[in-house]
Structure 1
Amino acid sequence: MTRSFFFSILFSALFINVYAQQSDLSVEKIMQDPQWMGTFPSNIKWDQNSSAIYFDYNKDGDPADSLYRIRLKNSKSIEKVSWTEEKDTDFARGTYNKAQTKKVYAKSNTLVLFDIKSGKETEVLQMPKNISNPVFLANEDWIAFEIEHNAYVYSQESGVLKKLTQIQTGEEPKKKETKSSDKASFLEEENLKLLSVVKEREDKKETSKQLRDARKDKELFTYYAGDRQIMNLQVSPDAKYVTFTLYDRGKSDNTIVPNYIDASSYTKDLNTRSKVGADETKVELAVYNIEKDTVYTANTSTLPGIKDLPDYVKDYPDKEWEEKEREVISSQAYFSDNGQHAIVNVRSKDNKDRWIAKMDLSTGELTNLDRQRDEAWIAGPGIGWTMSGGTMGWLPDNKHIYFQSEATGYSHLYLLDVNNGNKKALTSGNYEIFDPFISKDKKNWYLTTSKVGPDERHFYKMPLMGGKMEQLTSRTGNNDVSLSPDEKHLAILHSYSNQPWELYYKKNASKAEAVQLTSGQSEDFKSYNWRDPQLITFKAEDGVQVPARLYVPESSVKNNAAVIFVHGAGYLQNVHKWWSSYFREYMFHNLLTDLGYTVIDIDYRGSAGYGRDWRTGIYRHMGGKDLSDQVDGAEYLIENYGIDKEKIGIYGGSYGGFITLMALFTEAETFTSGAALRSVTDWAHYNHGYTSNILNEPFNDPIAYERSSPIYFAEGLEGNLLIAHGMVDVNVHFQDVVRLSQRLIELGKDNWEMAVYPAEDHGFVEPSSWTDEYKRILKLFNATLLKK
């Protein structure tokens, strides 16, 4: 298609658009400030006494959300919290004592005790500098806390304050040597030999100094961290050890993103991330042994398989692979309540291994308890990421640890006895576990699962050592629960496919009825009959069933054209029965369906919610099964919904933009048109944390990068392509589409256009940008899919 013809059909689309318009919706309406939809609660919090629920809301139509509250014993009316009260309110602060009767937390430089029953705050200690992370130790008279990366303990009974560590950044100062000259030494020695009084006085000085030194308290060993950051500082419950993370960012080159519309009127450079393969970070777990007054690091060299090579090396037979100890990243230490044991989560930097190991605190030696190996990459709900251990900790018996693992293909909750190594799965099945935690009486678990189905989330209670799960929520959709501090009530953020989030509460019992507390939809939003998409599956080329959401138009307006939406983030779920984070796209799909389009939204391979095999289906080939799932979705529509094979479009942002490019470049016989928004065009230019999981590193696995990057397939463009990108995108850099555009120019392609947005980052903010972008998408589809 020539450029002139492309423009002519875009202009003719104006006529088509007017003729086909059968909707009460418009792009301008959908993409305006989301406040037009109403106000919906978020960030649910309870007060300390379980008497009120606090949340972010905007009942008064302010420029931004404010803090609101509902007092449960009163009329349950929604009231705005004054700024004076809000600034002194911190609901998440503090840690409990064992009996759950007190909390300790810090207010700037003041250590505060809070009595749960009376609601009284008591200031127990003030320091010259800010206090952070206070906790009760095993002897609950003692409270440990941190000031400027050093550990302190305080006795409530005696008022004794001790500094446990002397940690400093930078290098240890070099001691100056004061060596006397030979001449000076000779004269001094002669003087002391000849003059007895002088010698006696010098001897007395030395004796006095020795006495003073003997009376001094022993000085703390000073540990110099150099250029490394100190993180995750913790005092063991028995106050015998202090652990901390040493984080070295390295010196990898960051990339520059120019901001052409800076307020100064000058172009300003934004210093952003480095590219994949440039990660030079080093993370170590250090232990300060208080009795021995020394620091050592956790020894990871003895972990089983620490030198294992990944399977993909077999694709490079001509390359020599050195069998060496792999770099790892250690989490913080997780102490048993009595302080006698500690475990640590260790991940290999090549993403293939996760070890849970018991650490001998007296030496730093590690003993492996559980190794999870994945030749793709370790991930999944609760598994942890980089320095995070994910779901991990100790049961009150001080011998069982808990953690999550994808050992069965789905992320489940496990117990392991550290004394004998016996492991027990507390949950099992083709579903996933999210955010488990132990009840305050230490008798039960609370957890969210997808047991009802991958398209729903519900909250459960389960005995501590395993057993039947009691489902505590019942409303279809997603139930995001915040348990009250006294564990007697649930505050529930609930939504359904066509119903945004609202706040409910109920008693902590399965048969109790949930009471709706908010109703935030505006009259304008409620006036439209938002569709409840059909949840379907279709058969992929390899025989698996692929989940999707389907929007089918009325037969009277059906135009036999289809649009496929590709969600972003790769590892994200959008086929479900709750309000989508892609709410603008959801509304756009309602508009498209009104205009006669059939719309399908697919949870392709790589999406979240379906276990390990689905998650890793894109390993070493992005644009493989994730793209073939889109093609198979198109075939499903052709075979089952009468879609014209010449009238199929595709669009998406970020990862969805990447798939759109791959679709237009490599599946031209399936897709007539596509809109690629903020898309990755060359994975070697994306970030390390995400990309190296899936494609390894470009200098080690170039095969994976070449077959996964659209820029290598641009010569295959035959259909009509719209590229849209924010110019200050610090996630997927504008450079991505600049390089691709040059490639298209050199290839002589003229059936593509690019829209740029100078004020936008990766996620658009301005309604004008959203509106412009989606008007262009609609024009593209109307012009190229509805033509005779």
Structure 2
Amino acid sequence: MKLHHLFVAAFLVATSFINAQNKEVTLEEIWGGEFRQEYLQSLRSLNNGEEYAVRNFDRATRTMNVDVYSYETGEKTRTLISSADIEGLDFFQDYTLSENESKVILSTQVQSIFRRSTTGVYYVYDFSSEKLTQISEDRIQEPTFSPDASKVAYVFENNIYVKDLSSGETTQVTSDGKDNEIINGVTDWVYEEEFAFVRAFDWNKDGDKIAFLRFDETEVPEFSMDMYGTYGQQLYPTQDVFKYPKAGEKNSVVTLHLFDLEAGNTSVVNLEKSYEYIPRIKWTNDPEVLSVQAMNRHQNNLDLIFVNAEKNTAEVVLNETDEAYVDVTDNLTFLNDNSFIWTSEKDGWNHIYHYSKTGKLLDQVTEGNWEVTQYYGFDAKTGRIYFQSTENGSINRDVFSVRANGKNKVQLTQKRGTNDADFSADFTYFINSYTSATIPYEFTLHKARNGKKVRAIKDNKALLEKLKPYNFSKKEFSTIEVNGNELNMWMIKPQDFDETKKYPLFMYQYSGPGSQSVSNTFNSSNDYWYQLLAQQGYIVVCVDGRGTGFKGADFKKVTQKELGKFEVEDQIDAAKKLGERAYIDADRIGIWGWSYGGFMSSNCIFQGNDTFSMAIAVAPVTSWRFYDSIYTERYMTTPQENASGYDNNSPINHVEGLKGDFLLIHGSGDDNVHVQNTMQMVEALVQANKQFDWAIYPDKNHGIYGGNTRLHLYTKMTNFIKENL
């Protein structure tokens, strides 16, 4: 009897030890921020090249500081600004320094409008006089210093204003702004979402002219969303109405204007020919020359135009065309002689080019079967260009420098994974942010000349220690040959994986044009969820199929006019191929995705019903006819031109194929992928007499978050997987 007790005690100790080494992760931990990484917040290099500023929030005192550190030593040298020291301002959320660093704009009471746009109450703080000035009594958008910081331009109720900071006088530049009709100086919904910018005005170098875009959205169809409010506080729903051009419908009429501050007048810029889109405006180093990127509606013909502001004339200096589409570049950089840097896919891979100020090609700076993924800048002292690329594998990123003529390239980062750089103003140093599948973010200081490490700045070793008891499985990177292509893949297996057993397979993908889900980076929140599923006996896999990015233009653009055809074929065929492996149960394969990924997972279970037994679709596009003009037509042209491309590959037209278990989820306040997509597919499924599960999250946007929402959503999905896969 005594021996039996000793055996039981020893067994319990051993079991406790094993469990302690294999702690089970919970959804509450994942969505409660338990595994949050440390970052450098709002880092900005100061003009002296010797210091950088970082925003730091003291939770104990509720104080926001902008602290300054020495690049060389890492020691804090001073506090640039602290909310505790500013009379009349208890707190600020963010800061923007003027070019000459004499003043700073401080943001307060910031509220989101759409994905990138906000309104807020803003102040200017003058470092020399220690004077705090409120820019406007109203909630405004996009306050921006003139180059000498003597003025601030901003937008209020779709009109542009300029405040003179010395006199306090405010000048109203435009007066025709009207909600859902005319917008001056900020973008409409579809430009904000798809061309990824909000501020649509720019100061010239002398600060005496402002170029701006005017959006006439009078003819753009309206979209409305009912907003239900908090239970018990709102008796009747309100309605959010905004202009949303769906594929094939009318866009805003966009025109370019110049405001002359000295003359006080505004002129319309004549671009010589008609363009559907003006996705970028930017002054060159010549205060009289404005650069404009303008495109046709198909987005396969882009002109770079130089506008002479003095003469109001326009000249096309560079033209790019493509059978599919041309990407707008954010890398346009003007050098001292007004020659410029440009990035383009014209040789089949995204590379850097150097053009003269008249648009003559001087040099192709980079070339090879790899992509430039970021352009960091040009150092006039050394004549070197700094950039990030996929030269060491499409799932990795490294930082390089090269001379403007393309010679003497130097690799500045050495750790395999994802490296990103933030350079000092004079290109003496860069702060490297590094991560990989096994290493959370590390921040280190390096010499820009040769990449030599100077010192460590911050890491996440504490997070790695916190993760040890969970004994998470390794994310295994490989490729899988599907339809004649080597597709990037990662796989997460259960920690106690036994190749003689069979496991259910759960696949994740996004699959949108130019996207990447298989990357050598550390865990996101979803990765912890995949680890949770692996702990419960599932194998989780992600495959980047045709149409995804960083493997050349041909691989990316093969899906042109057929979104959802080749990508779906690749996911179905990858699942079949994985199902042939001895350790995967081919009868238990599921797939999920969000947004484009939800479009894909729906298509996969409908069209691959002999392969997938379950699927989850969150906020999916169910027909490209419902989605916005700029994104959809870039890849599909219009429904009027390509009806079969729209209809043959939309899951709403394949609901009769549903055999397995299907969960459909959407937020009713989604201004991007409207809940209309889900409602229409629900009706199609009902009329096809197909049983399915679905959930609507009231008033939640495309991200479906806020309060307890994410925890509830992932609990629902986890339960659905456990019950059906």
Fold shared by both chains (TM-score > 0.5): yes
The total of aligned residue pairs comes to: 652
Tell me the distance in 1 between the aligned counterparts of 2:300 and 2:485. Answer: 26
Per-residue CA distance 1:314-369 (angstroms, 9 max, x = gap)? xxxxxxxxxxx5534263243234x4644322122331211112334444333322
Residue 270 (1) aligns with residue 210 (2):
no
Q: Which residue of 2 aligns with 1:169?
A: 175
Per-residue CA distance 1:206-257 (angstroms, 9 max, x = gap)? xxxxxxxxxxxxxxxxxxxx94514655565578865433332334233222
Aligned to 1:745, the other structure's residue is in SS state: helix
Q: Pick one of 458, 464, 482 that aligns with 1:517.
A: 458
Q: Which residue of 2 aligns with 1:135?
A: 147
Q: Pick one of 480, 503, 506 that aligns with 2:443.
A: 503
CA contact (8 A) 2:479 2:489 kept: yes
Aligned to 1:599, the other structure's residue is in SS state: strand
Q: Pick one of 273, 278, 286 that aligns with 1:329.
A: 278
Aligned pairs for 1:295-374 (under 5 A) are: 296-302=267-273, 327-329=276-278, 331-337=280-286, 339=287, 341-374=289-322
Aligned to 1:563, the other structure's residue is in SS state: strand
Per-residue CA distance 1:239-278 (angstroms, 9 max, x = gap)? 8865433332334233222233436233233335625134
Q: 1:601 to 1:395 in 2, by over 3 A?
A: same
Deviation at 1:674, TM superposition (A): 1.0
Q: Pick one of 438, 458, 475 that aligns with 1:533.
A: 475
Letter in 1 for 2:246: V
Q: Which residue of 1 aligns with 2:111?
A: none
Q: Which deviates the most, 571-580 or 245-254?
A: 245-254
Aligned to 2:580, the other structure's residue is in SS state: helix
CA contact (8 A) 1:348 1:354 kept: yes
Q: Which residue of 2 aligns with 1:249?
A: 217
Deviation at 1:66, TM superposition (A): 8.7
Per-residue CA distance 1:13-33 (angstroms, 9 max, x = gap)? xxxxxxxxx963345345431
Aligned to 2:280, the other structure's residue is in SS state: strand
Per-residue CA distance 1:560-588 (angstroms, 9 max, x = gap)? 321111137554212111125xx232122
Deviation at 1:547, TM superposition (A): 1.0
Q: Which residue of 1 aligns with 2:587?
A: 646
Per-residue CA distance 1:41-66 (angstroms, 9 max, x = gap)? 44333456566655567896999999
Residue 591 (1) aligns with residue 597 (2):
no
Aligned to 2:702, the other structure's residue is in SS state: coil
Letter in 1 for 2:567: D
Deviation at 1:85, TM superposition (A): 5.5
Aligned to 1:43, the other structure's residue is in SS state: coil
Deviation at 1:668, TM superposition (A): 0.9
Greater strand proportion: 2
Point out where structure 1 has 5 or more consecutive residues left out of the alignment: 1-21, 97-101, 113-119, 137-141, 172-225, 303-324, 385-389
Deviation at 1:122, TM superposition (A): 6.3
Deviation at 1:517, TM superposition (A): 2.0
Letter in 1 for 2:684: R
CA contact (8 A) 1:38 1:522 kept: no
CA contact (8 A) 2:214 2:256 kept: yes
CA contact (8 A) 2:445 2:453 kept: no
Q: 1:767 to 1:642 in 2, by over 3 A?
A: farther
Aligned to 1:703, the other structure's residue is in SS state: helix
Q: Which has the larger radius of gyration?
A: 1
Aligned to 1:646, the other structure's residue is in SS state: strand
CA contact (8 A) 1:480 1:493 kept: yes
Tell me the distance in 2 between the aligned counterparts of 1:152 and 1:766. Answer: 36
**Percent of pairs with identical residues:** 19
Q: 1:359 to 1:468 in 2, by over 3 A?
A: same
Letter in 1 for 2:276: E
Aligned to 2:392, the other structure's residue is in SS state: coil
Q: Which residue of 2 aligns with 1:698?
A: 639
Q: Pick one of 594, 611, 625 that aligns with 1:684.
A: 625
Q: Which residue of 2 aligns with 1:84?
A: 84
CA contact (8 A) 1:37 1:522 kept: no
CA contact (8 A) 1:258 1:269 kept: yes
Deviation at 1:679, TM superposition (A): 1.5
Q: 1:767 to 1:471 in 2, by over 3 A?
A: farther
Tell me the distance in 2 between the aligned counterparts of 1:26 and 1:61. Answer: 29
Q: 1:29 to 1:104 in 2, by over 3 A?
A: closer
Q: Pick one of 330, 342, 345 that aligns with 1:406.
A: 345
Aligned to 2:440, the other structure's residue is in SS state: strand
With CA pairs under 8 Å and 6+ residues apart, which has the higher RCO, 1 or 2? 1
Q: Which residue of 1 aligns with 2:547?
A: 606
Aligned pairs for 1:403-482 (under 5 A) are: 403-419=342-358, 421-433=360-372, 434-439=374-379, 441=381, 443-482=383-422
Tell me the distance in 1 between the aligned counterparts of 2:151 and 2:701. Answer: 42
Aligned to 2:377, the other structure's residue is in SS state: strand
Deviation at 1:535, TM superposition (A): 1.6
Deviation at 1:765, TM superposition (A): 2.3
Q: Which residue of 2 aligns with 1:25?
A: 24
Tell me the distance in 1 between the aligned counterparts of 2:47 and 2:308. Answer: 37
Q: 1:58 to 1:111 in 2, by over 3 A?
A: closer
CA contact (8 A) 2:215 2:253 kept: yes
Aligned to 1:561, the other structure's residue is in SS state: strand
CA contact (8 A) 1:568 1:652 kept: no
Deviation at 1:405, TM superposition (A): 1.2
Aligned to 1:499, the other structure's residue is in SS state: coil
Aligned to 1:346, the other structure's residue is in SS state: strand
Per-residue CA distance 1:124-177 (angstroms, 9 max, x = gap)? 9999979842215xxxxx9786477477999xxxx9x99999844239xxxxxx
Deviation at 1:711, TM superposition (A): 0.7
Residue 396 (1) aligns with residue 341 (2):
no
Tell me the distance in 2 between the aligned counterparts of 1:693 and 1:481. Answer: 31
Per-residue CA distance 1:728-770 (angstroms, 9 max, x = gap)? 33322223222211211111112x2113333633213257443
Q: Which residue of 2 aligns with 1:316?
A: none
Residue 560 (1) aligns with residue 528 (2):
no
Aligned pairs for 1:210-221 (under 5 A) are: none
Tell me the distance in 1 between the aligned counterparts of 2:56 and 2:204. Answer: 40
CA contact (8 A) 1:558 1:596 kept: no
Tell me the distance in 1 between the aligned counterparts of 2:74 and 2:454. Answer: 18
CA contact (8 A) 1:537 1:546 kept: yes
| TM-score (norm: length of structure 1) | 0.72
Q: 1:772 to 1:427 in 2, by over 3 A?
A: same
Tell me the distance in 2 between the aligned counterparts of 1:687 and 1:62. Answer: 45
Per-residue CA distance 1:380-419 (angstroms, 9 max, x = gap)? xxx33xxxxx221322123x22211111122211111244
Q: 1:291 to 1:271 in 2, by over 3 A?
A: closer
CA contact (8 A) 1:106 1:134 kept: no
